[in-house]
Structure 1
Amino acid sequence: MKIQKFTQGQLLDMPLALQPNVVMEEKGVSERRSKALTMEGRGHARFGVWEASVGTFNREVELGEIMHILIGSAVFTDDSGHAIEMNPGDTLVFDPNTRGTWVVKEPIRKLYVLV
């Protein structure tokens, strides 16, 4: 059995790479960076650390997601118009195919698991 431990400081300081296929040409579009982490024996599991700068973008992820906000704040408004604010310490669960718009108010960083 292998156990990985990440301290709050390690998650906050972890270097992240610009996400591929993110179009940054429009003014106000949030820049997004991430680092995927792995779990032995679970190559299909997708989890890691993600961050976004101030701005907006659409969420188009087909998978469900569990996220824990490390720093920053944002508002997510789903396609039905329901808005939810997120701040440090919040844990959110998005059902599969949750679509909508992120408005990042302060640079945000989260730990995520896609399921």
Structure 2
Amino acid sequence: MIIDIVPGYAGADANIEEYRPDAEKIISGDPAQWARTDYITETGNGTFDGGEWRSQPGKYKVSFSGPEYCEILEGESIVTDLEGNAKTVRAGDRFIVPAGFEGTWEVTIPCRKIFICFTL
């Protein structure tokens, strides 16, 4: 691959998706979400992609089939596993959600993050 064709991380707004989690996953609030995929490629085992995500306040169930790197740019969220262990993440925090993670994601202050994930 020639480095000239590797996409930058300030992608065009053409790849924007606006959505909400499925109704049965929403616990509270109205977590309207927005995602822009800047890079996506199919692998032999799944999809590798990255971009920017935003969400309004709300709490909903999550399940990650593959690992995801997150960098919070704005806002605050509380990520809680099925055992009740919680981690509050804020602007400037960087972390990885492991493959197989299940729990809840609660956006307490409108949140914006950069993500890089591998989806099985």
- The TM-score range, normalised by the shorter chain, is 0.7 to 0.9
Q: Whole-Å Cα distance in 2 between the matches of residues 85 and 33 of structure 1?
A: 21
Alignment length, in residue pairs?
108
| Equivalent position to 2:83, from 80, 84, 89 | 80
**TM (normalized to structure 2)?**
0.75
Between Structure 1 and Structure 2, which shows a larger proportion of strand residues? 2
Q: Whole-Å Cα distance in 1 between the matches of residues 105 and 32 of structure 2?
A: 12
The aligned residue for residue 17 of structure 2 is: 17
Gaps of 5+ in 1: none
Structure 1 pair 70–62 and aligned structure 2 pair: CA distance change class (3 A): same
Q: Whole-Å Cα distance in 2 between the matches of residues 27 and 66 of structure 1?
A: 25
Kindly provide the CA deviation profile for residues 43-95 of structure 1, in whole angstroms up to 9, marking residues without a partner as x. Answer: 43211111110111111221111000010001111112110000001001111
Contact 1:76–1:103 under 8 Å retained in 2: yes
- Is 1:29 the counterpart of 2:30 in the alignment? yes
Structure 1 vs Structure 2: percent identity of aligned residues? 19
Contact 2:66–2:99 under 8 Å retained in 1: yes
The aligned residue for residue 106 of structure 2 is: 103
| Equivalent position to 1:69, from 61, 67, 72 | 72
RMSD: 2.6
Structure 1 pair 21–69 and aligned structure 2 pair: CA distance change class (3 A): closer
Contact 1:22–1:31 under 8 Å retained in 2: no
Structure 1 pair 53–62 and aligned structure 2 pair: CA distance change class (3 A): same
Which residues of 2 match residues 46-65 of structure 1 at below 5 A?
46-65=49-68
Cα deviation for residue 19 of structure 1 reads 2.9
Q: Which runs of 4+ in 1 moved over 6 A?
A: none
Contact 2:31–2:55 under 8 Å retained in 1: yes
